[in-house]
Amino acid sequence: MNVIDKTRSADINLGLMLDTLASSADLPLVFHYDGQAIRQGYHVTEVKAGDFSALDCGANPEAWSEIFVQLWDIEEADRTYMPAATFSKIIRKVSEHVRLDGAAKLTFEVSDGVQPMRLYCASVPVRQDGALHVELSPRPASCKPRTRWLAEESRKAAACCGPSSANSACCS
């Protein structure tokens, strides 16, 4: 597989990831990041859950749950890509000891053991070429008040200029 559709939405939650994997449990699970596929010997080295409270740059209180899955991108002799069912089994095992919220934002931490760990958000797994492929995109910094403002402006524009709008003057 050479091309992953990067237009698919990123930042999926744990529940959506597990639901998608369940429908293709026997397929190899291949993560892609920084323009390359993770190596076949990769390990899930840690799964952690966090509930966060913060104050954003607009002095707005924020709260969210997040699940972090740490991937160690290494090559090991005679290993193939992990089946989707194995990844799901690891998550289920963690859930026996740690409360995992299916609606929590899913973040991947990836390192080859030499380079520093980097944070990624994940796309919905895509079934292609006999495997499930997950595109990991770098998790950028963001300004939540600006993001909310842009979303509201977009909503207003859609309401004003949408097909049901009787007032086309607001679109000129």
- pLDDT score recorded for residue 61: 94
For the chain, the maximum distance between any two Cα atoms, rounded to a whole number of angstroms, is 66
Domain locations along the chain: 14-141
Which of 82, 72, 69 lies closest to 28 in space, CA to CA? 82
Structure-token pair, residue 112: 């080859």
Position of tokens 């840690």? 46
Stated as kind and residue range, the H or E segment containing 16 is: helix 14-22
Q: What is the pLDDT along the chain (172 residues), one digit of tens a residue?
A: 334 444 444 679 999 999 999 999 999 999 999 999 999 999 999 999 999 999 999 999 999 999 999 999 998 888 999 999 999 999 999 999 999 999 999 999 999 999 999 999 999 999 999 999 999 999 888 888 888 898 899 888 888 876 655 555 555 5
- pLDDT score recorded for residue 167: 53
Which of 30, 108, 41, 36 lies closest to 70 in space, CA to CA? 108
- pLDDT score recorded for residue 121: 95
The total of other beta-carbon atoms located within 10 Å of residue 31's CB is 25
- Which pTM value belongs to this model? 0.82
